[in-house]
Amino acid sequence: MPSTGPPQVLVLWDVDHTLIETRGVGFAIYQRAFRAATGRPLDRLAQVAGRTELDIMRETLLINDIEPTADAVNKLAAALAQGYEDAREELATIGRALPGAEETLDQLAVNPRAIQGVLTGNLRDIARIKLEVFGLAAYLDLTCSAYGNDHTERARLVAIAQDRASKRTGIVFDNAHTVLLGDTPNDVKAAAVAGVRLVAVATGKSTTDDLIAAGASDVVPDLTNPARTAWLILGSPTTAV
């Protein structure tokens, strides 16, 4: 029988390509936001997958010949957040929650052993908007989470989320009681550097083989088997499913 005591495991979800897909809307928003923030068109966008937004914004400004000063980064961040707020209907129409995402979140939400947050490269407001648009925010505690405007290094976000979750709940979530979920080799690396367990989800551009090659030992092809995924997160680690 599941425990009825306080939560024992902090479950931290990546957002893009793990729980949701913008299906091109995110890039369109970035183009509009870049022009709004800089007065110039976006010629090149930095590599996005598995990185924090602070890192992406700074490199994007640099490769578009704009000095990534704090003011320039802040203006772009504000424009991106406003862009997502303005594009809620567009995002809802074109994007989607990935198959099984809501059911898997619900499976964990009713299990008292788990508390769910996010660990994402997205800016805090953008992550919230995406999750609200696709009806997933209610399953997650966005306070017990860490975001792309908290630090440039993804691995450093783990300790930030653990600290916030501990302050929120009064429970210490150490590395043995923290699980990340993500779809990229950068997620695998972040978990390894931070010293926490990862369940990789092969719903992005990286295949199951890619994620195993990156070091993931627990991999699911997608979230369409919520009970199995929840067991893998909370139960004993296994190998690729």
| Interval 53-60 mean pLDDT | 96
Question: Residue written as tokens 């083989």?
Answer: 209
104 and 209: one domain? yes
The range of the structural domain enclosing residue 107 comes to 9-21+96-234
Look at the block and give the residue holding tokens 């897909």.
Answer: 21
Report the domain count for the chain: 2
Shared-domain flag, residues 84 and 137: no
Residues 183 and 195 in one domain: yes
Q: Does residue 241 register a pLDDT over 50?
A: no
The answer as to whether 240 is a domain residue is no
Q: Are residues 137 and 176 in the same domain?
A: yes
Burial class of residue 107 in the structure, from the number of CB atoms within 10 Å of its CB (0-12 exposed, 13-18 middle, 19+ buried): buried
Distance CA(12)–CA(10), nearest Å, equals 6
What is the Cα Rg of the chain in Å?
Answer: 17
pLDDT, position 7: 75
Distances (CA, A) of 237 to 64, 192, 240: 44, 15, 10
Average pLDDT score over residue span 12-22: 98
Q: Decide which of 92, 120, 137 is a domain's last residue.
A: 92
- Are the C-beta atoms of residues 222 and 181 closer than 8 Å to each other? no
**pLDDT at position 239:** 38
Last residue of a domain, one of 65, 92, 119: 92
pLDDT > 70: percent of the chain: 95
Same domain, yes or no: 172 and 100: yes
Specify if 38 maps to a domain.
Answer: yes
